[in-house]
Structure 1
Amino acid sequence: MNPTGLLEVTAVRRLTPRTVRVTFTGDGLGELEPWPDQQLKLLFPPPGRPVRLPAPEADVMRWYQAFLAIPEAERPVMRSYTVRSRDRGTIDVEFVLHSSGTDGPATAWARTAAPGDVLGRYGPDAAYRRPLSTADTLLCAGDETAVPAIASILSEVDNAVVFVEVADAAEEQPLPGEVHWLHRDGAEHGVKLLEAVRGAKLPDGSVAAWLAGEAGVVRSLRRHLVGDRGLAKSVIEFSGYWRRSLTQDDAPTSEDLADAAEKLGDSAGWTGN
């Protein structure tokens, strides 16, 4: 499947007060093979302009260089999202609406999304597919931005213990299996998630982990699992989906670069204990 193309909105649904599900159609989506935690890049056009895409390239780095070569005034804003579900040539993507006054380009677009709107895409690309853990227990932990990926993982496994931190009870979504919902209710982001994972009694046997959400919280969870619980780094899949007070347009921090280097250097894969 060509990883580059256009997506057209066919439906918009408000799932919770802060979550919008958008259904897209587009060329090639009917050929898309599903896999858990399937990510793609969405390309949001500048206000008042159509989406301009770089020429298709077989290599992702060449594609990215062609993307950067688009004049800045015409270049789309690129953000990463997870495919929530797919059905007969369509895909669903969920957008978390952050607090009013802090909208980035993706959130601002999602607030007013309507059928007929068009975005660009890169992916999903099978080159980024990761195998699911073979450990006895898979610990999943994240915030509301991780719900689509966690949902896709739970559709494939029955050995997961899940902790999800959301703003309040209204943000819960139906998910299968053992899911522990944690409500911030005004508390600082990530505090309740960290407390819950640190205090969790996990089943006997081997354990692997999947962590996603705010980058600083993900790092703290990972340090706990490695330093306090003795998990090998190779059995922890982790992604900082967003950064507190920073956007994807800001320069990466030293911690961001260290995370990226470690993930690129992990040739062992994610296979569990």
Structure 2
Amino acid sequence: MARINTQSVEDRSGILEEEDHMRGMERIGMEVISISRPFASVARVTGRIAPADPAPWMPPNQAVRIAVEEPEGQRPVVRVYTIRAFDPLRSEVEIDFVIHEDDSPAMRWLKSARPGTVLPMIGPRQHFIPLPSGDRRAAIFADETAIPAVYAILMAWPGGLKGSAWIETPDRAAFDELPRPDGVDLHLILRPAGVAPGSAQNLLQAAKALPDPQTWTVWAAGERVEMRDLRNHLRKAGVARTDLQVLGYWKKGMSSSDLDRARLAEYEALRARGLTLETLGDIDLPV
């Protein structure tokens, strides 16, 4: 009897295969070309894909769900990653894996992957990006898990949009690699070694120091409890709901699979009421 993989999230109703969820995403394989370590905290996987249409892959902040393990008789164990860069001429993508010391499915895949390894994925799905809003400035708050998204966003930064970004990471090199578009100030929040991510709520404190918050449009991503607190603070400080794009990429003390189970249960409940994917307020999930 095959061993049960507890990281696999079962979709007994098949709701994740329906069009409301798929919305044009495709199943695709990425062949690993190389795996490098640009700095200590990150493994960068460069791979080749053959999308049906390259256009959906080109805007910044595209998310993909990748199958890091495929247990027999179960759904693949999937994790969400952001495409750091896409080269349509070479059909190559870059995906950064933040290195963890735990024996997680993603770390196990990374240890076993070699050039020629094929990684199944589903995507892309466009996530939020900071949007120009009249003469409003754009503020970015992100921890190390969101640095690939920030990189892609800054690479495609709209001309004339003013902004500031606060990046929390224990690795200065990851911050130093970020693009510096005209009109954007980058601020490093260097987390000391041994301090757990999300524990000090450094990004929340940076948001609380934002001058005249009602004059900004905000994009933020990181630990979901801190992101929820950041969102609630900025709403009370006068930032319009339409000017807030806040994402909880992970939760301290909770596995990605458990978080996906919570998302799936909420999505099933919404669909049972006749609602669609747009009504899934991820940051407000009761987890």
- The structure whose RCO (Cα within 8 Å, separation 6+) is larger is 1
Maintained 8 Å contact 2:221/2:248: yes
Equivalent position amino acid for 1:81 in 2: Y
Instruction: Structure 2 unaligned segments of length 5 or more: list them.
Output: 1-23, 271-276, 282-287
Equivalent position amino acid for 1:159 in 2: K
Secondary structure of 1:124's match?
strand
Q: Which residue of 1 aligns with 2:70?
A: 46
* In the alignment, structure 1 residue 160 sits paired with structure 2 residue 163: yes
Q: 1:220 aligns with which of 229, 232, 247?
A: 229
CA positional deviation for 1:76 = 1.7
Q: 2:98 aligns with which of 85, 96, 108?
A: 96
Q: Distance in 1 between matches of 2:234 and 2:63?
A: 25
Which 4+ residue blocks in structure 1 deviate beyond 6 angstroms? none
Maintained 8 Å contact 1:167/1:184: yes
CA RMSD, Structure 1 to Structure 2 (Å)? 3.1
Query: Judging changes above 3 Å, is the alpha-carbon distance between structure 1 residues 212 and 25 closer, same or farther for their aligned structure 2 residues?
Result: same
Maintained 8 Å contact 1:82/1:149: yes
Q: Which residue of 2 aligns with 1:148?
A: 148
Q: Distance in 1 between matches of 2:280 and 2:253?
A: 29
Q: Which residue of 1 aligns with 2:218?
A: 209
How many matched pairs?
235
Maintained 8 Å contact 1:163/1:182: yes
* In the alignment, structure 1 residue 7 sits paired with structure 2 residue 30: yes
Equivalent position amino acid for 2:77 in 1: V
CA positional deviation for 1:193 = 2.1
TM-score (norm 2): 0.72
Maintained 8 Å contact 2:61/2:129: no
Q: Which residue of 2 aligns with 1:184?
A: 191
TM-score (norm 1): 0.75
Q: Which residue of 1 aligns with 2:203?
A: 193
Sequence identity, in percent?
A: 29
CA positional deviation for 1:131 = 6.3
Q: Distance in 2 between matches of 1:19 and 1:129?
A: 22
* In the alignment, structure 1 residue 31 sits paired with structure 2 residue 54: yes
Instruction: Structure 1 unaligned segments of length 5 or more: list them.
Output: 50-70, 268-273
Q: Which residue of 1 aligns with 2:15?
A: none
Query: Judging changes above 3 Å, is the alpha-carbon distance between structure 1 residues 220 and 19 closer, same or farther for their aligned structure 2 residues?
Result: same
Maintained 8 Å contact 1:141/1:211: yes
* In the alignment, structure 1 residue 84 sits paired with structure 2 residue 92: no
Q: Distance in 1 between matches of 2:127 and 2:252?
A: 27
Q: Which residue of 2 aligns with 1:120?
A: 120
Instruction: Give deviations 1:119-167, integer Å, cap 9, x for gaps.
Output: 1010114xx4656412221111010111111111112224221011002
CA positional deviation for 1:202 = 5.8
Q: Which residue of 2 aligns with 1:65?
A: none
Instruction: Give deviations 1:62-118, integer Å, cap 9, x for gaps.
Output: xxxxxxxxx21xx321111111001220100000012x2x23211232244321111
Q: Distance in 1 between matches of 2:144 and 2:176?
A: 10
CA positional deviation for 1:43 = 1.1
CA positional deviation for 1:37 = 1.1
Q: Which residue of 2 aligns with 1:243?
A: 251
